[in-house]
Structure 1
Amino acid sequence: MRLITLDDIIDTYAKLNQRGIHFITSKFSVNKIKRAKTAFNHEKIDSSNWWIIPKVKERWNTLITGNKDLDFKDFTVNTILKNKTNLKMLSLGSGNCCHELKFASFNNFDEILCTDISDVLLNNAETISKNKKLDNIKFEVQDANTFSFPEKYYDIVFFRASLHHFKNIESLIGKSVKEALKDDGILIIDEYVGANRLQFPKYQIDAINEAIKLIPKKYRKRYKLNFYKNKVSGSGIIRMKIADPSECIESANILPSIHKHYNTIYEASYGGNILMTTLKDIAHHFLNTNQANEEVLNQLFEFEDIYLKNHPSDFIFGIYEKPNNK
């Protein structure tokens, strides 16, 4: 376990330049919920992460659905939910609700409830839903850790990049969510399931640094900073707890708990072990691709593919059913 690292200092300086002094000072609140909320309570976050890269998104689609132009939402509706109607979905930790809004556009759904601790993001999503005349989606400011789950009410419980922020995973997944699902209900996740608190093992840090060496210097200039990314040391546990007490708090428990309490309908790995950290703060160089930077991305993709042959994926898309379905 790493307590404080050079990456902590660099990341704090980067956040100061990208999000301002108010964001930094907000992390000194003694209230854990308030500190966690500051990480998400913004309509737009100015940063440079792997998820902003179109080619990375195409890679996710390919690994999850087999088609670079087919995302997991269309895939789920066209396969698992085909011909199903009047569905009720609960989304916990919905964030900006972009995925839930897409689900709401399908006729399959009668009711979607989005919950999150960020009122700013939910208010913005509600405005979008009204503009799109979607009357089957609702929004509620609610901490998932204290949510009152109705018994056997939902056809689907959905987590997208949120489950790794929740504590007591075994109880949440094995009891609360399970009891809230109808007998034929399903659990859908699109999640980080890697090391708790991003405490990557040394061999993973070493592999990430090897990947960074594949990137020409001009693509390693950090976003809004005047220095370059040459290597990483990993996140320190102290900064992780201060910056967002909920970040990856029990992420390593997610898959074991799900596999213990549910049957797998569909599960796909899409990596992230190398790409997430390698591209952090330099992803903006790959927003618009050309022959040169696309070749770099392809080398990184191949590097991660080789790594994944011997290590479990840090990110998973999965669809699961309650055991009594059969």
Structure 2
Amino acid sequence: MATATDRTRWDSSEFTHNLADRVWTASSVVRRYLHRLASGNDDADWWTTVASRHVGDFDPLLVLGCGSGGIELLAVERGVASRVLACDLSLPTLEAAERSRRARNLGGVHYFQCNLDRPQFPVRTVRLAIAHDCLHHVQELELLFQSLHRLLQPNGTLAFCEYTGPNRFQYPDEQLVVINRYLAEIPRHLRVHPDNGEVVEKITRTDSASLIREDPSEAVRSEDVVAAVLERFTRVVLKPYNGGLLNPLLQNIIVNFHSEEGRALLEYLCEQERLLTESGELAPNFTLFEGRPK
């Protein structure tokens, strides 16, 4: 597990910039599909849905794993919170977030470095804690949720949108069969990998040894996140956010889907994932959660 002084790939602006363009959610078609799962509304994402349930109940707000600036800036811009604390492990990422804050001329946001495996939060100081795609990097989940339990004020809320699929992305055989069945339906020109120009012929399990060398924290205990949070928090919302097909299928090649043809195919794939997940043929790999301290 990386420490506050170790450099990881998350400190590389090249890595984080490319990542934003290549993840499965890089398309507005996919995002609208996910918004419908979260709220039933194409235009209301999971975070907006959380905010609608806690109007006037945010100050102060804590954002975990804020990255280079996102939820915390939107919260201030939309008037959801006037005081926001936002943390990340990577100093270069925090510096980028601070630049974004200044460029948008926003006050009320305080950034600080934090290793979520060794959290040191004050007691009973926050009304709402939000995490987005960072908990699957945490080894010491029990310690983190214990710390968040102490941090939240009475009747406070923890909310997250998180990858909760197989550790180290070691997808089971039956999931890979489904993924590759749909890969074969994608025209070859839409399967070209942006790094090497080669057509993606088959999706296989990530090599865990290589993944650990690149980022020891990546999906280290992702499949334990839900069980660990329920030890300390009573669920208010716990719902699948799917991703069992689209996340592994569209990684990197999503850059090829900006044409009318590509967008139409994405609409089809989103609907197929929804049906497969609802039928139980495909397990969801992401989870939406809201809960209160026990």
- TM-score higher than 0.5: yes
**2:275 pairs with 1:303:** no
Which of these residues, 127, 132, 139, is aligned with residue 104 of structure 2? Answer: 132
Matched residues in 2 for 1:212 and 1:36: separation?
35
CA pair 226-106 structure 1, distance change in 2 beyond 3 A:
closer
Distance apart, 1:177 and its partner CA: 0.9
Matched residues in 2 for 1:218 and 1:237: separation?
29
Contact between 1:41 and 1:119, CA under 8 Å: does it hold in 2?
no
Corresponding residue number in structure 2 for 1:117: 89
CA pair 278-35 structure 1, distance change in 2 beyond 3 A:
farther
Matched residues in 2 for 1:49 and 1:35: separation?
25
One-letter amino acid of the structure 2 residue matched with residue 156 of structure 1: L
Matched residues in 2 for 1:40 and 1:123: separation?
10
Corresponding residue number in structure 1 for 2:228: 257
Q: Secondary structure at the match of 1:308?
A: helix
Contact between 2:69 and 2:100, CA under 8 Å: does it hold in 1?
no
Contact between 1:37 and 1:117, CA under 8 Å: does it hold in 2?
no
Computed over aligned residues only, the root mean square deviation of the Cα atoms, in angstroms, reads 2.0
Which of these residues, 69, 73, 76, is aligned with residue 97 of structure 1? Answer: 69
1:57-206 equivalences under 5 Å are: 57-78=31-52, 80-84=53-57, 87-173=59-145, 175-206=146-177
Q: Secondary structure at the match of 1:82?
A: coil
The percent of aligned pairs where both chains have the same amino acid is 22
Q: Secondary structure at the match of 2:100?
A: helix
Q: Secondary structure at the match of 1:148?
A: coil
Unaligned runs of 5+ in 2: none
Contact between 1:92 and 1:159, CA under 8 Å: does it hold in 2?
yes
**TM-score, with structure 1 as normaliser:** 0.82
Matched residues in 2 for 1:258 and 1:272: separation?
21
Q: Secondary structure at the match of 2:178?
A: helix
Q: Tell which structure's C-alpha radius of gyration is larger.
A: 1
Matched residues in 2 for 1:36 and 1:269: separation?
33
Matched residues in 1 for 2:27 and 2:11: separation?
20
1:123-178: per-residue Cα shift (whole Å, max 9, x none)?
A: 122122223332211111222222311111111111111011011212321x1110
Matched residues in 2 for 1:260 and 1:145: separation?
17
Matched residues in 2 for 1:271 and 1:172: separation?
25
Matched residues in 1 for 2:194 and 2:267: separation?
21
Q: Secondary structure at the match of 1:96?
A: coil
Contact between 2:118 and 2:144, CA under 8 Å: does it hold in 1?
no
Corresponding residue number in structure 1 for 2:263: 294
CA pair 41-90 structure 1, distance change in 2 beyond 3 A:
farther
Unaligned runs of 5+ in 1: 1-30
Q: Secondary structure at the match of 2:18?
A: coil
Give the count of matched residue pairs: 288
**Residue range with higher mean Cα deviation, 139-148 or 226-235:** 139-148
CA pair 293-106 structure 1, distance change in 2 beyond 3 A:
closer
1:256-299: per-residue Cα shift (whole Å, max 9, x none)?
A: 1222322222233221111111111210111x241x22332123
Contact between 1:214 and 1:296, CA under 8 Å: does it hold in 2?
no
